[in-house]
Amino acid sequence: MITELFKGTNSLTALLFRKDRWKILIWIGCIVGISLAAAAAYPSIYLTEEDVLGFAITMDNPAMKAMIGPGYELQDYNTATIFGHEMLIFTLIAIGVMNILIVGRSTRADEEDGILELVRSLPVGRLSYLSAAIIEGILLNLLLFLFCGIGLGLLNLDHMDWGECFLYGALLGGIGLFFLGLTATTSQLAETSRGATGFAISGLIVFYLLRAIGDVNVEVLSFLSPFGWASRSYVFAENHWWPVFLTVGIAIVLIGLAFYLNSIRDMGAGFIPARPGRRHASKFLQTPLGFVLRQQRANIIGWAIGLFVLSASFSAIMGDLETYFSDMELLQMYFKNAEMSLSEQFMSLTITIISLFSLVPALMGIIRLRSEEMKNRLEHFYSKAISRNTVMGNFLLGSLLVAVIMQLSVALGFWSVIGYTGEGGFTFEELIGASFSFIPAFLVVIGLALLFVGFWPKLVNLVWLYFGYCFIVLYLGDLLEFPNWLNKISVFYNIPEPFIENMNSISLIKFIMIGITFSMIGFIGYNRRDING
């Protein structure tokens, strides 16, 4: 009886791997490649004990603990532990997102699109499709563990033995399995793919914030987060394996829960049903823009709250920077601009990175135009007296409004603490100006997405590769010693650094014009090509 539930799992697993093969190759290639490149670069950056000590002192403050986790003991710092401290948390976030997107696509999204109904018309078991998706995710994280562990070991770097390298890879794979299990469970709870992915992404953000707050103030909160467990492995120093066993154990429980929930629910249903709407739509909802924003309402609210809390968390420890390090001349070797205060430099870096995250919901909004087309829902628009320019224009306007809302949330998050404590010396106008200075960069990336939607709609998700590249340039560009021309490919690199560089109106206008040009070309392509349906 039990074997009948899983009948056909092997064939479906092969089918999913074939369907997702390019996604898997790109994700693994990027994560492993960046990790190995960064590890190989650290020995050439930190050449002396003074360099290592400078990094150690910089990391031993609340701001950096909140961003990348608790540091090591001073005597434990070397190029290996610097790599483990600076790279681990953000790599784990990327792996969490990877699992959420791939597992969410192979479970609830395929069910929502009718693929599961087609598969179940064949002689397969009730749990076979879910088990195939989970097996695909397990093998994906296993490959990540092996490639990272073996790759780091083959680099033969100082202070990195094979056991420590495999521990680093195991931490990546363990966290991947945790978010695999979490997404498989939320896919049973939510009634829509958007809800399932939204719950899982919200969980990732909450876990990151719990770790950030716990590492600075209440340590017990860090032990409620898988990111907190992983950071306490102290890889390349103390090398604790218990975080790996804990994350894998909880992942097994979540996977078991997902199987149970899937076995007792009806296809297409969820344990958290979507709320019924009002009997009559509002006047705003009856407009194309209102409809576009209504579709993204939960996404907008969730991201706005997350960015607000994240910004407030970092601003809460802003005043400690000068208190901790104002008298340490050694830090002048570490920071780029010795003439600027530590608060200004840290605020500049933080706003830039958080603003890059703000692009995510805005970009998701414009890519939804392609999703609506693939699901044949645009036919409802085009059956009426409405043009393609109007539809695409409202999706563009909606994405820009989302970008403005996100950046406003970032500025308000910083100001909610800075304005109350008076620490940091930043005015609300300065924070608004710094946040909104990235809007031209948003317009360029959104315009690039429109260009793909207009001419090469099947390739629109390549925009996420460009997004990832922008993050790599911001976070690792100096470490990997990218040439200047390669850095300039990232539009965010070309935006003047807030509080450090003077705002260049000509540069901002240039990017606005580039974004408008991309968008206009996208409109032309969209009007000329056939609409799927």
* Rounded Cα gap, residues 130 and 330, in angstroms: 55
Residue range 255-271, pLDDT digits in tens = 999 999 998 888 877 88
Encoded amino acid at 530, one letter: D
Average pLDDT over residues 146-153: 94
* pLDDT class of 193 with cuts at 50, 70, 90: confident
pLDDT for 402 equals 92
pLDDT greater than 90 at residue 165: yes
Encoded amino acid at 211, one letter: R
Q: Which residue has the higher pLDDT, 420 or 279?
A: 279
Question: DSSP readout, 122-177?
Answer: SS--TTHHHHHHHHHHHHHHHHHHHHHHHHHHHHT-TT--HHHHHHHHHHHHHHHH
| Residue 351 covered by a domain | no
| Cβ–Cβ under 8 Å, residues 179 and 200 | yes
* pLDDT class of 34 with cuts at 50, 70, 90: confident
Q: Is the pTM of this model over 0.75?
A: yes
Q: Name the residue range of residue 247's domain.
A: 10-273
| Residue 23 covered by a domain | yes
Domain count, the chain: 1
Residue range 71-120, pLDDT digits in tens = 788 788 888 888 888 889 889 998 999 999 899 988 888 888 788 888 88
Residue range 339-388, pLDDT digits in tens = 566 667 777 778 888 888 889 889 988 888 888 888 777 777 777 778 88
Average pLDDT over residues 214-223: 84
Residue range 307-345, pLDDT digits in tens = 888 788 777 666 555 554 554 444 444 455 555 666 677
| Residue 183 covered by a domain | yes
pLDDT for 82 equals 87
* Rounded Cα gap, residues 315 and 320, in angstroms: 10
pLDDT for 50 equals 76
Evaluated on CA atoms 258, 264, 267, 268, the torsion sign reads: negative
From residue 423, how far is each of 257, 319, 341, 346, 418 by CA, in Å? Answer: 46, 5, 13, 14, 6
* Rounded Cα gap, residues 423 and 316, in angstroms: 9
In DSSP terms, 96 is beta-bridged to none
pLDDT greater than 90 at residue 147: yes
Residue range 441-478, pLDDT digits in tens = 999 999 999 999 999 888 888 898 898 888 888 777 76
Average pLDDT over residues 272-297: 76
pLDDT greater than 60 at residue 33: yes
Ranking 187-196, 358-367, 412-421 by mean pLDDT, the lowest is: 412-421
* Rounded Cα gap, residues 467 and 237, in angstroms: 33
- CB 334: neighbour CB atoms within 10 A? 15
- How does 482-497 read in b/e, with b if 16+ C-beta sit within 10 Å? beeeeeeebbbbbbeb
Average pLDDT over residues 433-439: 88
| Residue 315 covered by a domain | no
* Rounded Cα gap, residues 235 and 219, in angstroms: 19
pLDDT greater than 90 at residue 251: yes
Percent of the chain residues past pLDDT 70, beyond the cut: 90
* Rounded Cα gap, residues 398 and 396, in angstroms: 5
| Residue 207 covered by a domain | yes
Q: Which residue has the higher pLDDT, 421 or 133?
A: 133
* pLDDT class of 52 with cuts at 50, 70, 90: confident
CA 515 to chain centre: 23
* pLDDT class of 275 with cuts at 50, 70, 90: low
* Rounded Cα gap, residues 432 and 412, in angstroms: 8
Percent of the chain residues past pLDDT 90, beyond the cut: 28
| Residue 381 covered by a domain | no
Q: Which residues contact 268 (CB under 8 A, 6 or more apart)?
A: 111, 112, 191
Ranking 12-21, 191-200, 423-432 by mean pLDDT, the lowest is: 423-432
| Residue 338 covered by a domain | no
| Residue 75 covered by a domain | yes
Residue range 394-410, pLDDT digits in tens = 999 999 999 999 999 98
Residue range 474-516, pLDDT digits in tens = 777 766 677 888 888 888 888 887 776 676 777 788 888 999 9
